[in-house]
Amino acid sequence: MNRLSKRCIALAVAVGAMASTTAALAGKTLDGVKQRGQMVCGVHTGLAGFSAADAAGKWSGLDVDVCRAVAAAVLGDPEKVKYVPLTAQQRFAALQSGELDLLSRNTTLTLTRDASLGLNQITATYYDGQGFIVTKKSGIKSTKQFKNQTICVQSGTTTEKNLTDFSKTNNLNIKTVVFEKEEAATAAYFAGRCVSYTTDASGLASIRNKVAPKPDDHIILSELVSKEPLGPLVRRGDDEWFAIVKWVVYGLIEAEEYGITQANVDSLKTSSQDPVVRRILGTGEDMGKLLGLDKDWMARALKATGNYGEIFERNVGPKSALGLPRGLNNQWNKGGLMYAYPIR
């Protein structure tokens, strides 16, 4: 055996050893979730349509359904989730410290958050933009009327910086009143301390519906001043868990594109000949084994929550209490931005 051959063999052994080490280290989060029989999910303290608990302590909302879908895929039961309500200031530290397995709390995905927090962003589950709520009696119809006005905003959010940038760019000299907690900021607005309160437009719809003494007295301006792609996050350092959460979300989106619903999962498992449907539902190629899961992982998730469109309609859509249009959150082939990587 010549020297070159020996080097090639040595290199192959080294690569194999590295691969074995990586495999041994991967999946700590998944192992922990399975051992405790429960997934810990960080959510908003109470934002109707996204994550809120009812009088009996039962959580619901678009972000909550992401948690439920992942739990169904991993543990076989969407109810095996412990919800941890978090403020904007608490959310990242809770995930970084290991208190959470998943943060699904209307969080804007940005470069800074992706590159500096030790967290991995999954993908957008709701495309939003920063808006403003005002009283009808204020007569304000445009954001350009905010010159020298006072606006309430929550600290520790992208909203606060966006407002500063917007004011400077448009020479509006907006006077901000900053609050640590959302409840304090909205209370100040409804008490008349500010001419407007600003946050994601979806959040404004939720606040108007849930908090406003008289919702009809308030309007949300049509102008948006930022891009706010909202989505879940996980800790860095566990590629297997990152892949699982990412592909559950993509599965919810792709299931809608291919007509798989909460109601027809079982019938399609036995009747569909579509290769994509069969891969999603585990009756064709086994996609689950690549994630460290069984072949029925996505079928369970869909039976628990329905596809992305069903999740949207139930929690925030036109027929829900929030009454939000599908808009940018429609499928890519229907004028929206929801475009899932293919499960294949």
Q: Do 245 and 95 touch, CB atoms closer than 8 A?
A: no
Report pTM. Answer: 0.88
Strand order in the sheet with 150-154: 175-179, 150-154, 196-200, 130-135, 218-220
Q: Which CATH class is domain 28-127+230-334?
A: alpha beta
The residue extents of the domains of the chain are 28-127+230-334, 130-226
pLDDT tens profile 25-80: 347 999 999 999 999 999 999 999 999 999 999 999 999 999 999 999 999 999 99
CA torsion through residues 143, 160, 123, 297, sign: negative
Instruction: Provide the residue count of the chain.
Output: 344
| Res 67: pLDDT | 98
Q: Which CATH class is domain 130-226?
A: alpha beta
Q: Position 278: which residue type?
A: R
| Res 294: pLDDT | 97
Average pLDDT, the chain: 93
| Res 18: pLDDT | 41
pLDDT tens profile 169-222: 999 999 999 999 999 999 999 999 999 999 999 999 999 999 999 999 999 999
pLDDT surpassing 60 at residue 15: no
Average pLDDT over residues 115-137: 97
Q: Do domains 28-127+230-334 and 130-226 have the same CATH topology?
A: yes
pLDDT surpassing 90 at residue 2: no
Burial of 146 (0-12, 13-18, 19+ CB in 10 A): buried
What is the 3-class SS of 78-91, one letter each residue?
CCCEEEEEECCCCH
